[in-house]
A and B are shown apart, each in its own frame.
Chain A
Amino acid sequence: MDAQRRRSLVRGALAIAGSAALYEGVSYSGMFPQVLLPNIQTVAGTLWGMLADGSMFEHAGATLLRVLVGFTLATALGVSLGILMARFKAVENFFLPLVSALMPIPSFALVPLFMLWFGLGNTTTVLVVFYGATFPILFNTWSGVRAVNPLWLRAAGAMGADERKLFWKVILPGASPFIITGMRQGFLRAWIAVVGAEMIAASDWGLGWVIFDAEQFLQADIMIASIVVIGIIGFVFERLVFGSIERATVHRWGMVRVAKG
């Protein structure tokens, strides 16, 4: 087993090194112009330069700010409306048809409309992120609250829990694995949405804007450097941030096994 693991690692490393070498070879061969296919040193140099002069941090900061504001709004609306929909039939009857009709609209389809209404810049990008992230969170919260074992509710009720306690001690922890899954999916969507929205509708700052702007000047090295940064930030959020949230809540409460039950 150990030998096999080691072999897997070696093969994986070889695969990555091999593709890098291949890329490098094609880049040096002069088959394509250097500006279109910069070699790895150039990309690394560009990335280092942008990190050193701080411009990459400003772009990443602008993008992160937009994502986090939009995502926070989406979480607030998605979780509260999701819970209301699951708890009150009237709310569900009213909002479910609307949600089903709006959900299939890709958030990018609204970018031109938001641009007309709110102009270029932060408002538009934040709203697009908000729109993209809300539906997964809303939908998962709604299913999560509905999936709370009715036995738990009755048991807590029989032990004298009032409406408030029931909500905080039973429903919310019970639905939390779904809510966190929803937030994860929502963040993924938000991260895609912000890049697209910045390309179409941002002014001066932001990772999506840099990539798009670099196209006009044929600066493929800046593009690839920014793509790498986008990938790393997305990965960090997905694995580290949401991973640790999950460990601190649902794993500690022992919810996950029940949820997957």
Chain B
Amino acid sequence: MQDAATLQAPAPAPAPASLPGGERLRAVARNAFPFLVLGALWEIVALSGIFPRKLFPTLGDIVRSFVELTVAGTLPHHTLDTLIRLSSGFGIAAVVGVTIGVLMGRSRLAEDILLPLVSILAPIPGLAYTPLFLLWFGPGQLSAILLVAFVSMFPVIYNSWTGVKAVKEIWLRSAQSMGADKHRLFRHVILPGAMPYMLTGLRLGLAQAWRILIAVEMLASVPWGLGWLIFGAREFLDTAAMMAGVIVIAVIGLLLEKYVFQKLEDYTVVRWGMVGSM
């Protein structure tokens, strides 16, 4: 069940508010220390002049570039476009993926027909399809969104399918014997039962979508987007702008993982007591 394995970002040492002041300060300092060391090393290499300053900018240059790009409005514009692309692509993948996955889990016929097709298409790295999509749909927005949707769909399908299949037979039968109709069975038994798997699938799909999107933006010649920003900056040897883009990408990646899905999980499966029962 390779596709169902979660790879979560490890939580940095916690600094909850309940700790006494001194402890908390120490935890913050402990987390900050490695970054200071790394920053100092970077600065030493940058100032030493081993590499040209243009290619290896100092931290000051990177911060300046970050501030300039933000004030000029270009960085927010790139970020916004990337996020719009991510959410529309992933939105399509979530809706289509969950629908196909649930169908495959509930209907034997759908499973027999779709499973071979999914198993053939899924192991191919999604990025390999990029030039083909560009050829078919032309460079630009449409290709980028469709590719993100296509690539992130597979973990969603696979995990929704597994989740629906993993709903305990006895829950279904007891709900039926208590007189639940099809609609209720689905809404109150199957959906909550399959939800932990679906969320895992959505999480994996989103991570996939995020990784692919950055590469797609470099290849699909879209006018705006973080991937395009860092790729375009190469032409002008603007390493500082590139690093600023990479930092934004890292922060968004972290936020997606930490906040979007953690919160969604807290509101659904944790509240329903599903995770404990697994």
Contact = CB atoms under 8 A, between A and B. Distances in A.
B218 A211 contact: no
B109 interface: yes
A113 B250 CA distance: 15
A59 to B, nearest CB: 13
Given A11-B113, A215-B131, A100 B211 contact: no
Contacts of A98: 34-35, 38
Identify whether the interface residues of A are mostly helix, strand, loop, or mixed. helix
A231 B124 contact: yes
Given A101-B254, A109-B246, A116-B239, A230 B219 contact: no
B253 A105 contact: yes
Nearest to A132: B211
B9 interface: yes
Contacts of A200: 215, 218-219, 231
A146 to B, nearest CB: 11
A238 B123 contact: yes
Contacts of A214: 131
Nearest to B136: A36
Contacts of B31: 97
B116 A112 contact: no
Contacts of B32: 97
A142 interface: yes
Interface residues of A, number: 67
B155 to A, nearest CB: 11
A84 interface: no
B13 A12 contact: no
A155 to B, nearest CB: 28
Nearest to B219: A199
B127 A16 contact: no
B185 interface: no
A251 to B, nearest CB: 15
Interface in B219-278: 219, 226-227, 230-231, 233-234, 237, 239, 242-243, 245-246, 249-250, 252-254, 256-257
B103 to A, nearest CB: 14
Contacts, number: 185
A188 B207 CA distance: 14
Nearest to A236: B123
A117 B33 contact: no
B134 A185 contact: no
B123 A218 contact: no
B20 interface: no
B267 to A, nearest CB: 22
A195 B115 contact: no
Interface residues on B, range: 35 or more
Nearest to B134: A215
Nearest to B151: A192
B21 interface: no
B242 A96 contact: no
Interface string B132-170: 101110000000000000000000000000000000000
A15 B118 CA distance: 11
Scoring B11, B12, B135 by chain A CB atoms within 10 A of each residue's CB, the highest score goes to B135
Contacts of B239: 113, 116
Contacts of B250: 101-102, 104-105, 109
Contacts of B47: none
B178 interface: no
B209 to A, nearest CB: 10
B246 A12 contact: no
A184 B5 CA distance: 11
A228 to B, nearest CB: 8
A184 B2 contact: yes
Interface in A1-41: 7-8, 11-16, 19, 32, 36-37
Contact of B35 (A16, A97, A112, A211): A97
Given A16-B116, A117-B55, A211-B131, 6 more contacts: A11-B109, A12-B113, A93-B33, A115-B234, A199-B215, A215-B134
Interface of A: 7-8, 11-16, 19, 32, 36-37, 93-113, 115-117, 136, 139-140, 142, 181, 184-185, 188, 191-192, 195-196, 199-200, 207-208, 211-212, 214-215, 218, 220, 223-224, 226-227, 230-231, 234-235, 238
Which 7 A/B pairs are nearest by Cβ-Cβ distance? A104-B253, A11-B112, A108-B215, A215-B131, A231-B124, A106-B211, A192-B125
